[in-house]
A = this chain, B = another copy of it.
Amino acid sequence: MSHPEHPRDDPAKPVTISYIAETAGVSVPTVSKVINGRSGVAADTRARVEALITRYGYRKSSPVQRSNIMELVVDEIEHMWGVEIIRGVQQVVREHRIGLVLTEFGPDRNTIRYWIDDTIARRPECIVTVAQLSVNEQNQLRARGIPFVVLDPTTELPGDVPFVGATNWNGGRSATRHLLSLGHRRIAMISGPGHLYCQARLDGHSSALRSAGLPVRDDDVISAPLTQEGGHSAALRLLRGAERPTAIFAGNDLQAVGVYQAARSLGLRIPEDLSVVGFDDLPIAAMVSPALTTVHQPLTEMAMAATELALALGRGETTSQTGLELATRLVVRESTARPGG
């Protein structure tokens, strides 16, 4: 069912509906139906047309009717960042008088396969997504001219996908540099799972060690889930060894709380016997005792920036910068000190 491509007069110019129709071997009304999300098009035809639209970056020239809603999509709302992100998005939608539709995919992504259909039917101005969208979903959104911005990406994105993240590498580097400056030489890291931002934090940590002329020892890096329990069991492994580290840099604040528990169960005092640094700077960091030194991630500001960017794209504005990272910063509290107190 593949159709030959026709030569284009000027490849720099955006394609027309007729060009897509001709290339896909369908009628202009069929392409129009796909673009406007109407029914009556066979699934394979729809997919073929969408693929061409994505390929050529076709955009409707006539403005669609504005729905005054936008969508925020998350996999699972987590305690430790859900509120920060929703607050940021709400702050911006209030200013623009836009309604916010919030979708949580929940524990089983498959349970809401209908999401993309319902979203398209609502004709939102734009989408901010913390969840990973499938290539098919992305194509369907592009075909309807619904822009989406990825917030805090967990994977490498193609160059044309707008995103807002944080400077995770710099954050990881600043945490370990802080510990080095206090005199620590054996600094372990509990890293998160394979997410892009966890890799960046770990690379920042390793970079700081290497800059100080110290080796990055395999034994001193343990990967664990970004939970209290993950931090707890990883810390037990690190601290039970013959030659234990004097400091642990945890992948996030929840893991750091787990490190606290492990230290307590082993009779180690924080920070006298063990320094601990977290990542995120969520409210819990100031509540635990001793208060946690951590890397502040500006989640609310990231959500605000992603929302502003998505709304601008929804208005058809072209922005010079569609990928950005907001700065992290180290917040020193009471959980770090010189080795040996």
Contact = CB atoms under 8 A, between A and B. Distances in A.
Given A83-B83, A288-B288, A118 B97 contact: yes
B103 A101 contact: no
A182 B82 CA distance: 38
Interface string A222-266: 000000100000000000000000000000000001001100100
A284 B287 CA distance: 9
A177 B97 CA distance: 49
Contacts of A102: 86, 90, 100-102
B104 A101 contact: no
Interface in A89-120: 90-91, 94, 97, 99-104, 106, 111-112, 114, 118
B288 A287 contact: yes
B79 A94 contact: no
Given A257-B287, A289-B289, A82 B90 contact: no
A258 to B, nearest CB: 9
Name, among A69, A94, A111, A289, the residue most crowded by chain B CB atoms within 10 Å (CB to CB).
A94
Interface residues of A, number: 35
Contacts of A82: 82-83, 86
A78 B68 contact: no
Nearest to A71: B99
A190 B288 CA distance: 21
A118 B287 contact: no
A267 interface: no
Contacts of A83: 77-79, 82-83
A38 interface: no
Q: Which of A99, A106, A257, A283 has the most CB of B within 10 A?
A: A99
Given A118-B68, A122-B99, A94 B77 contact: no
Given A83-B79, A287-B284, A99 B99 contact: no
Interface of A: 68-69, 77-79, 82-83, 86-87, 90-91, 94, 97, 99-104, 106, 111-112, 114, 118, 122, 228, 257, 260-261, 264, 283-284, 287-289
26 contacts: A68-B118, A77-B86, A77-B90, A79-B83, A79-B283, A82-B83, A82-B86, A83-B83, A86-B86, A86-B104, A87-B104, A91-B106, A94-B106, A94-B111, A97-B114, A99-B103, A99-B118, A100-B102, A100-B103, A101-B102, A228-B287, A257-B287, A260-B289, A264-B289, A287-B287, A289-B289
Given A94-B112, A101-B102, 11 more contacts: A68-B118, A77-B83, A77-B90, A90-B103, A97-B114, A97-B118, A100-B101, A100-B103, A261-B289, A264-B289, A287-B288
